[in-house]
Structure 1
Amino acid sequence: MSNNFDRNLSSEDVLRRRASLLQRVHIDGILLLLLLILGAASLFILYSASGKNIDLLMKQASSFGLGLIGMLVIAQFEPRFMARWVPLAYVGGVGLLVVVDVMGHNAMGATRWINIPGVIRFQPSEFMKIIMPASIAWYLAKRSLPPRFKHICVAMAMIATPFVLILLQPDLGTSLLVLAAGCFVLFIAGLQWRWILGAAAAVVPIAVGMWFFVLREYQKQRVLTFLNPESDPLGSGWNIIQSKAAIGSGGVLGKGWLLGTQSHLDFLPESHTDFIIAVLAEEFGLVGVCLLLLLYMLLIARGLVITVQAQTLFGKLLAGALTMTFFVYVFVNIGMVSGLLPVVGVPLPFISYGGTSLITLLAGFGILMSIHTHRKWITQA
């Protein structure tokens, strides 16, 4: 009976029914489809980039599955419910960063992880990429906009605290992403141009101060290498030179899956994490990179649509900031791998290996789904 009924419906009616079903379970079909495609592509590329390491592939698949479950669970909560818990999340996130600085796990010269032997190892700074914009959005949503000077000062203090704690780990890349996430909320909230121009004018003296008093020697070397990688081709310039060689050797169509030489012959360092797009470019060429960029652009475009359609100020500020932070995430990784930006250790979203980063990204898209699918319920409440 139901089949006959479905056949009598127009294609538009069927699509509308399916869309309403997804709306009721608080899933955005477009976001889910794009994320599943990216997840499959990640495993496909990671298998080659890791040297056919099945264990690493299974860990990534497990993290993606766990992240998807978390994303769907988060999508069930209304944005106003999330807003109630934002202050506690901010305090907890800052507390974890303090724990990292005091007694965190050290690896590769940096203390960025909390390690509970036999239970879990995670990077609290990753969570701040979501907690930070949510906290600033929660604070500004309760004030008149555009934000006044005192509100800007409070927001900047909230941004500066985790920024400094992450910078001390040291983790320049993540600290800059957290800073950007908070500043994006201020920008979307209607920050006046005089404050934006003032911040732009302060970049140079701040950069000079960071060079002399904040940045460590290896971070300074990364900047110098960015300016002239050939000055130390066998040392600090090795990564970027090999990365550009891999990207260039792929040509238009690439060498083919599993046939890349730079990664499989161990010329390309960190091929399964920060420099994984160089593996993609070598094996699938310009076409493969363009297809990946298209997926990213579609995700960003969907995030902007959700931002425009958000029906609460908190939702609009948070959705916009999460979307723009994701854009910066992609831009910084591709920029540093191609030699357009200094190497700051930012992985490629959904493609690079990394459990905490993957779960955090999916949690962010779960929030976007919640903002989008709960908008009618918010109107009725």
Structure 2
Amino acid sequence: MEKRSLISRFDFLWSGLDKTLGLIVLGLVAISMVTFISASSGTPVKFIDQLRNLALAYSVMLLVSKIPPKWLEKSAVWIYSLGIALLLAVAAFGLIKKGARRWVNIGVVIQPSEIMKIAMPLMLAWYFQRREGVLKNWDYAVAVLLLALPVALIARQPDLGTALLVVAAGLYVIILAGFPWKYIIPVVALGTFCILLIIIFGSYICDPQLAWPILHDYQKHRICTLLDPSTDPLGKGFHTIQSVIAIGSGGIFGKGWLNGTQAHLEFIPEKHTDFIFAVFSEEFGLIGNVVLLALFAALIQRGFAISSNAPTLFTRLLGGSITLIFFTYAFVNMGMVSGLLPVVGVPLPFISYGGTALVTLGVGVGILMSIHRYRRLVQS
């Protein structure tokens, strides 16, 4: 009997997985590990904590990758309903931390809004799969209602950042399902016009005596601080000012690993989570950022390649929306840290420290792996 090598004994860990996608994610994780060692200095979290989170995310990814997309399609309504039930539980008796009611204790403390980042595209992809061939304009209205319910519950917590990510996840499915561009273009034009008005009349609308409808005061303050961080240099503007200084001081080649002054002198807040990109930029400079952006671009390109070759409408919509969620995470985080977007607490995918967020990303990658595996099985 031929003796198996040590590596071949563990081939079940990657057998059937998309190797290209796996190598891209591995590259991002390698950058995460190197950066985390520097970014975690002076914080209560340890390197072993991030290794544990990554191991959990990988285990979840491996498990999800072995679930046939047909099973995901059948469970979409149940997962969405569970997410809604947990969000209602948060509203009724959720735990309050830092002034927000976002968590619920069900034996373990969880944040149900994270579930909706996956449950929302699952549900809408299932709905449009059921309506394939008989799709009408009112179907898009039904999809918007399915999206509006969890978004309203999440925004009420309040958690505007997560609410916007769930909105994006749902809208991606609706757009990919064929929502007419004649309705999209006017909305984009109106949004652009409103942003220009905010920039032009920023000093007036940011007057402390002027109340904004719908948004909370702290959310108004975030937007106004984005327009002019110097109005609150030791408060909300401190995050933006210090992260922009860190990115600019990195130059082309960076200051070198472990040599970032902004990070190690504790000027960068949340340096191992939301603002880890500032730590990376300061130490590895423009060249490091180009490598990081190339990896994210490769991740998105590979996700679209898997989605475009998927055999059903459900898998194409689900894969495409998850790929665009990865893009949204990276775009919002880098824009936030660079001072181009408000600070909304969105982690940098596979780079930032985190537990629930990493598991959610692991589920997303696992779904893409499952779609790829299923396509190969169908074609074989």
TM-score (norm 2): 0.88
The residue number in structure 1 matching 2:371 is: 371
Q: CA deviation at 1:52?
A: 5.9
The residue number in structure 2 matching 1:10 is: none
Of 131, 151, 156, the match for 1:163: 151
Answering whether residue 71 of structure 2 is matched by residue 81 of structure 1, we say yes
Unaligned 5+ segments in structure 1 are 4-17
Match of 1:212, SS?
Answer: coil
Change (3 A) 1:243 1:55: closer
Answering whether residue 124 of structure 2 is matched by residue 136 of structure 1, we say yes
Letter in 2 for 1:302: R
- Larger CA deviation: 96-105 vs 273-282: 96-105
The residue number in structure 2 matching 1:98 is: 88
Q: CA deviation at 1:146?
A: 8.5
- Larger CA deviation: 43-52 vs 69-78: 43-52
- Give the Cα–Cα distance (whole angstroms) in 2 for the partners of residues 201 and 301 of structure 1: 27
- Give the Cα–Cα distance (whole angstroms) in 2 for the partners of residues 157 and 233 of structure 1: 41
The residue number in structure 1 matching 2:350 is: 350
Q: Contact 2:251/2:282 (CA < 8 Å) preserved in 1?
A: yes
Q: CA deviation at 1:220?
A: 0.3
Count of residue pairs brought into register by the alignment: 360
- Give the Cα–Cα distance (whole angstroms) in 2 for the partners of residues 91 and 132 of structure 1: 10
The residue number in structure 2 matching 1:178 is: 166
After TM superposition, what 4+ stretches of structure 1 lie above 6 angstroms from structure 2? 21-24, 204-208
Match of 1:132, SS?
Answer: helix
TM-score (norm 1): 0.88
Match of 2:327, SS?
Answer: helix
Answering whether residue 103 of structure 2 is matched by residue 113 of structure 1, we say yes
Q: Which string of whole-angstrom CA distances, capped at 9 and with x for unpartnered residues, describes residues 87-136 of structure 1? A: 000000111111122222222222222245xx633222112111111110
The residue number in structure 1 matching 2:202 is: none
Q: Contact 1:67/1:363 (CA < 8 Å) preserved in 2?
A: yes
Match of 2:46, SS?
Answer: helix
Q: Which string of whole-angstrom CA distances, capped at 9 and with x for unpartnered residues, describes residues 20-71 of structure 1? A: x999943111111222222222122112112165843222211111111111
What does residue range 1-381 of structure 1 map to in structure 2 within 5 Å?
Answer: 25-51=15-41, 55-115=45-105, 120-144=108-132, 147-200=135-188, 203=191, 212-378=212-378
Letter in 2 for 1:249: S
Letter in 2 for 1:65: A
- Give the Cα–Cα distance (whole angstroms) in 2 for the partners of residues 336 and 55 of structure 1: 23
Q: CA deviation at 1:145?
A: 5.5
Q: CA deviation at 1:203?
A: 4.4
- Give the Cα–Cα distance (whole angstroms) in 2 for the partners of residues 122 and 274 of structure 1: 19
Letter in 2 for 1:171: D
CA-atom RMSD, angstroms?
A: 2.5
Unaligned 5+ segments in structure 2 are 199-210
- Give the Cα–Cα distance (whole angstroms) in 2 for the partners of residues 205 and 169 of structure 1: 29
Q: Contact 1:22/1:29 (CA < 8 Å) preserved in 2?
A: no
Q: CA deviation at 1:278?
A: 0.3
Identity %: 47
Letter in 2 for 1:57: F
Match of 1:113, SS?
Answer: strand
Q: CA deviation at 1:200?
A: 3.3
Letter in 1 for 2:337: V
Match of 2:236, SS?
Answer: coil
